Amino acid sequence: MTETIINLESVNPIDFFGVNNNKFDLLKKKFPLLKILSRGTQIKLSGAPEQIDIAKEKIGLIIQYMERNGHLSENYFEQILGGDDAEVIDNFVDQNPNEVLVFGPNGKSVRARTANQKKMVQSADKNDIVFAIGPAGTGKTYTAVALAVRALKNKLVKKIILTRPAVEAGESLGFLPGDLKEKIDPYLRPLYDALDDMIPADKLGYYMSTRTIEIAPLAYMRGRTLDNAFIILDESQNANDLQIKMFLTRIGANAKAIITGDPTQVDLPRNQRSGLEKAVRILQNIEGIAHIQLDEEDVVRHKLVKAIIKAYDKERENETENAYHR
């Protein structure tokens, strides 16, 4: 048995251990074969040398992150502990300024946080069309909007166009109160929220008033040719085959497009089929079109979201297996 002591003098121990030691409990849960004790600004590890080496590496990465970024959320703490891929860890501790996509209000930096988000950024740099497919909370929309804002700020495009199918949980726009804009805005709210994180309110208002940034339902794209633009089709699982084809054929000169979607959350009426699966399948091997698959390891929301996704995936697998044996 080996013992080692790690000093936390360079970071805030209270932030490291968490409220009611919740982060410290996550650390102990991650390494059940080790005896882990906290003593003031020190952590004492006792156990097998190979386990201690792994724990030291993870704790070291957490310390690096806190030294460079200050506060570390419980969600990030858990992601660093659970990241076995060096590329995942690199997203948390690498301070290369080139990896910052945009700086939002108050100097907030927006960057790819996970391995697949990083692949999404790299793919968007190299391809004109990117499909980013994955469950809720994996940062598909947020990363796509950050890429669009970066392109606008760097004058690579003249405008940003963000669009979604106006379909949610079987509700009809006609039954909602208000004028057309008031009916539609709730469906587009996640896009507004992402922009609010990346562009000061006054500047965002200017961009919207001059149509430098447009947010509109997918139906509004029909008949247009979109040149010098960064275009995002969000929630594409709620678009049918003809709508996705229509969107993809709007792309003009010097334009980029990102299509995000979650095939497990289709809200179309039962008599309509999502066009996302077909689009991904038939456009798989075309040069200039990239496909990124995100999964529960990319979830950057509350830690329970990852567990929820896994539970639903397991249930879907059980239902498929039961149907096969009937």
Q: What domains are defined for the chain?
A: 2-92 (3.30.1370.10), 96-321 (3.40.50.300)
HEC letters along 136-171: CCCCHHHHHHHHHHHHHHCCCCCEEEEEECCCECCE
- Determine the pLDDT at residue 157: 96
- Determine the pLDDT at residue 73: 74
Bridge partner list, 164: 217
Distances (CA, A) of 82 to 79, 88, 207, 264, 306: 5, 9, 40, 25, 12
Is the pTM above the cut of 0.95? no
Phi-psi region of 230 (alpha: psi -120 to 50; beta: other; left: phi over 0): beta
Written as tens digits, the pLDDT of the chain (326 aa) is 788 999 888 888 888 888 888 899 999 998 999 999 988 888 999 999 899 998 998 888 888 877 766 667 777 788 788 765 444 455 555 545 567 888 777 666 788 878 889 899 999 999 999 999 998 888 899 999 999 999 999 999 999 999 988 765 444 555 545 555 565 667 678 888 889 889 988 999 999 999 999 988 888 888 888 999 999 999 999 999 999 999 999 999 999 999 999 998 888 888 889 999 999 999 999 999 999 999 877 776 666 776 787 788 788 777 766 665 66
**Cα 222 to chain centroid, rounded:** 28
- Determine the pLDDT at residue 41: 86
Q: Tell me how far apart the alpha carbons of residues 89 and 104 are, in angstroms, rounded to a whole number.
A: 23
Listed as own residue / partner, the contacts of 40-47 with beta carbons closer than 8 Å and 24 or more positions apart are 40/13, 41/7, 41/8, 41/9, 41/13, 42/5, 42/6, 42/7, 42/8, 43/5, 43/6, 43/8, 44/3, 44/4, 44/5, 45/3, 45/4, 45/5, 45/6, 46/1, 46/2, 46/3, 47/1, 47/2
Distances (CA, A) of 325 to 208, 231, 315: 54, 44, 15
Residue 2: which residues within 8 A CB-CB, separation 6 or more?
Answer: 46, 47, 48, 49, 52
Strands (E), the chain: 2-7, 35-39, 42-47, 100-103, 109-111, 129-133, 159-164, 213-217, 229-233, 256-261, 289-293
Q: Tell me how far apart the alpha carbons of residues 157 and 150 are, in angstroms, rounded to a whole number.
A: 9
